[in-house]
Amino acid sequence: MAAHCLRVVAATAKINLIMTWRFFSWSGFALRFWSPLMTLGAAWVLFNTVYGGATSSAFDAAAGTPSYLSFIVIGNAFYVFVFAAAFVVGRVMFWERAMGTIEATFMTPMSRFAYMTGVMTAAGINSSVDLIAVFLIGLLFGFQIASFNAPLFLAGLLLTAFALFGIGLIANAITLSFRDRTTTANTLMTVFLVFSGIVCPVELMPNWAQMISKALPLTYGIRVIRASLFGTRVQEVFYDLAILLVLGIVLVGVGVLTLRLIERNLKKKALFSVF
Amino acid sequence: MFWRVVIAEVRKNIKQFFFSTRTVFWTLMLPLGNGLYLYFLYLPFATRSVNLEMNGSWFNLDLVGFTLIGQLLYTFYTMMLLSGASFEREREQGTLEAVLLSPASRPAVILGGALASAFNYVWFLLGIMVSWVAFVGVKIVVTDFLALFASIALSYLSLVTVGMCFESLFVYSRRGGMYATMLQEPIMFFSGLVFPLQAMPVALLSISYLIPLTFGLMSLRLTLLGGASLLDVAVPLIALIGMAWLFLAVAILLINQAERKAKVNATLTQF
């Protein structure tokens, strides 16, 4: 059974990677960095020209670093990773339906969980390329690394990817039910972008916004990634790692359950390939 | 005949836009989310106000209002930009030939598309404005209502003509939707949406002055939040009038030429 699942994961990851890179387009690749590039440019102008290179003392205390631009670069790199991963996984069923392969896919005896894990594996590989690219772009905007704690960095990245996988599973279920791919994904991404602490520490946000932040796995993931690059001790982000793990388990559990329910419902009503 | 076509196009586009309640939700979500994002971008800094310079005078604007007005006008602009892909939608639906075979005036068709996009957004704009003023406490400082009215009307007019221009331009391409998306971020940067224009590197300012949104943002922010008079915002208002005429002329020229060329080469519905 385990070997079968691994074969499904490997095959799905392979086909998804082939589909991504076979028709590689430079304009499409560049477009993925448009948004972080503009945010970095705007942050650079605000920091250097409007405020003369000075941030508030509250920012220094909350961010754990006085380097505003490094803070922003890490936030944006991480957002690009999330964007690439969550978008692909959250829309996979929609595209299966659009390509006319969804019925065939669900008729096979493969594990749905293994299939989705394969999609996530390919998305994770692709989004890691994007993550590295934004860090490289960030060097032009003054990105500096105080230290690099590789195990903590990888732990943060993997646990966030795990939680995103859960969100992707839930998004798929919503997409299949409502026959919508844009609204669900865009709403999710806007919530992540605004409330996860990408452009400012969560502690500086209004109380109501902090409450939303606490429910998002990305908030904890981004804190771990920043800690791994700013030289923060592991003990100080242990709580974030634990919360990230718990959120991941809950989200994946809910995602698997939701997807199973939706599949059963769509089969019963013969609505799989109906738009 | 001209206005009947305009009204028919407006009705058609509004019906196509509001085909589901999710569209309404998303249209509301986008400016709110992006407005908050811009506001949060300022939180790491010590001050909660923004200084804007116009004709040698300095205006101190409330930060919430600065980001809110910016985001609302930018979303309106984005809607107009995306309306530019409406001919592409006609092509996808297989109705482009039928539209162009009819004796309907081409400028009336594109004006109808642009006006529908504007209508789809305006009532959201008003709703969000009222709710932000009531609940978030945006400090509105208006001293010259004529200047405010002129700023709103001319920003609206110039952005509608930009929408018409893009609509005509994208007929030449089969990737109008992608180009519209590609243009959003640079316009966000160059228009002074995120930061005051005087902070823009000098070498890049000339790009900013090609975008009507730049002048719309200037005049609306100053008249609504800084208490500027008609004289204070005369320069951006004149620029908006000039741009509205320019974009209208270019739109009519482009659509006529595109249609003639496509008919000769029989490429109207080809992808």
Q: Note whether B196 contacts A50, CB cutoff 8 Å.
A: yes
State yes or no: pLDDT of A116 exceeds 60: yes
A274 occurs within a structural domain: no
pLDDT digits (tens, 9 = 90+) for B159-216: 878 877 877 777 776 666 667 677 778 888 888 888 888 888 888 888 989 888 899 8
Q: Write down the pLDDT at residue B25.
A: 67
Q: Positive or negative CA dihedral for B3, B4, B10, B11?
A: positive
Q: Write down the pLDDT at residue A254.
A: 92
| Nearest C-alpha in A relative to B181 | A31
Q: Write down the pLDDT at residue B21.
A: 60
Q: What is the mean pLDDT of residues A191-208?
A: 89
Q: Note whether A54 contacts B199, CB cutoff 8 Å.
A: no
pLDDT digits (tens, 9 = 90+) for B97-151: 777 778 888 778 878 877 887 777 776 667 677 766 766 667 778 888 899 889 8
Measured between alpha carbons, how far is A137 from A130 in angstroms, rounded to an integer? 10
Measure the N-to-C terminal CA separation of chain B; round to a whole number of Å: 31
On chain A, the residues whose CB falls within 8 A of the CB of B43 are 59, 200, 204-205
Q: Note whether A199 contacts B37, CB cutoff 8 Å.
A: yes
State yes or no: pLDDT of A148 exceeds 80: yes
Measured between alpha carbons, how far is A250 from B221 in angstroms, rounded to an integer? 45
Who contacts A144 (Cβ-Cβ below 8 Å, separation ≥6)? A67, A70
Q: Write down the pLDDT at residue B97.
A: 75
A275 occurs within a structural domain: no
Pairing assessment for the beta strands B57-62 and B49-54 based on DSSP bridges = antiparallel
pLDDT digits (tens, 9 = 90+) for A9-22: 899 889 888 887 88
Q: Write down the pLDDT at residue B188.
A: 83
Measured between alpha carbons, how far is B112 from B96 in angstroms, rounded to an integer? 15
Among A18, A181, A4, A161, CA closest to A86 = A161
A225 occurs within a structural domain: yes
Q: Note whether A190 contacts B195, CB cutoff 8 Å.
A: no
Q: Write down the pLDDT at residue A224.
A: 92
Name the minimum distance, in Å, from the CA of B134 to any CA of chain A: 17
- Please check whether residue A61 touches B, CB under 8 A: no
Residue predicted with more confidence, B15 or A180:
B15
Binned at pLDDT 50, 70 and 90, residue A247 comes out as: very high
Task: List residues bridging with A230 in a β-sheet.
Answer: none
A112 occurs within a structural domain: yes
Grouping H, G, I as helix, E, B as strand and the rest as coil, residue B268 is: coil
Residue predicted with more confidence, B69 or A218:
A218
Torsion of CA B104, B105, B111, B115, to 10 degrees: -30
Buried b (16+ CB within 10 A) or exposed e, A182-217: ebbbbbbbbbbbbbbbbbbbbebbeeebeeebeebb
Among A5, A180, A24, A13, CA closest to A109 = A5
State yes or no: pLDDT of B155 exceeds 90: no
pLDDT digits (tens, 9 = 90+) for B31-60: 677 778 888 888 888 777 888 877 778 888
- Please check whether residue A43 touches B, CB under 8 A: yes
A25 occurs within a structural domain: yes
**CA B208 to the chain's CA centroid:** 15
Binned at pLDDT 50, 70 and 90, residue B83 comes out as: low
CA dist B186 → A35, A45, B175, B176, B208 (Å): 9, 14, 18, 16, 10
Q: What is the mean pLDDT of residues A242-265?
A: 89
Measured between alpha carbons, how far is B71 from B219 in angstroms, rounded to an integer? 14
Name the minimum distance, in Å, from the CA of A107 to any CA of chain B: 31
Locate tokens 């209502």: which residue? B145
Measured between alpha carbons, how far is B240 from B234 in angstroms, rounded to an integer? 10
Q: Write down the pLDDT at residue B22.
A: 60
DSSP B86-118: HHHHHHHHT-HHHHHHS---HHHHHHHHHHHHH
What average pLDDT does the structure give for chain B? 79
Q: Write down the pLDDT at residue B269.
A: 62
- Please check whether residue A212 touches B, CB under 8 A: no
DSSP A175-237: HHHHT-SHHHHHHHHHHHHHHSSSSS-GGGS-HHHHHHHHT-HHHHHHHHHHHHHHT--GGGG
Measure the N-to-C terminal CA separation of chain A; round to a whole number of Å: 34
State yes or no: pLDDT of A178 exceeds 80: no
List of E strands, A75-167: none
Q: What is the mean pLDDT of residues B72-86?
A: 71
| DSSP assigned state of A24 | -
State yes or no: pLDDT of A243 exceeds 80: yes
A200 occurs within a structural domain: yes
Q: Note whether B41 contacts A46, CB cutoff 8 Å.
A: yes
Q: Which contiguous run of DSSP H or E holds residue B224?
A: helix B212-225
Which range of A22-26, B23-27, B201-205, B256-260 scores highest in mean pLDDT? It is B201-205
Share of chain A above pLDDT 90, in %: 16
Return the HEC string of B163-210. HHHHHHHHHHCCCHHHHHHHHHHHHHHHCCCCCCHHHCCHHHHHHHCC
State yes or no: pLDDT of A242 exceeds 90: yes
Question: Two tokens at A273?
Answer: 């390939």
| DSSP assigned state of B60 | E
Question: Two tokens at A161?
Answer: 């990817």
Binned at pLDDT 50, 70 and 90, residue A272 comes out as: low
Measured between alpha carbons, how far is A42 from A118 in angstroms, rounded to an integer? 37
- Please check whether residue A211 touches B, CB under 8 A: no
| Nearest C-alpha in A relative to B26 | A183
**Domain with A225 in it:** 2-269
Among B194, B200, B202, pick the best mutation site for testing chain A contact (most A Cβ within 10 A). Answer: B194
Q: How many domains does one find in chain A?
A: 1
Q: Note whether B23 contacts A183, CB cutoff 8 Å.
A: yes
A102 occurs within a structural domain: yes
A16 occurs within a structural domain: yes
Measured between alpha carbons, how far is A53 from B199 in angstroms, rounded to an integer? 13
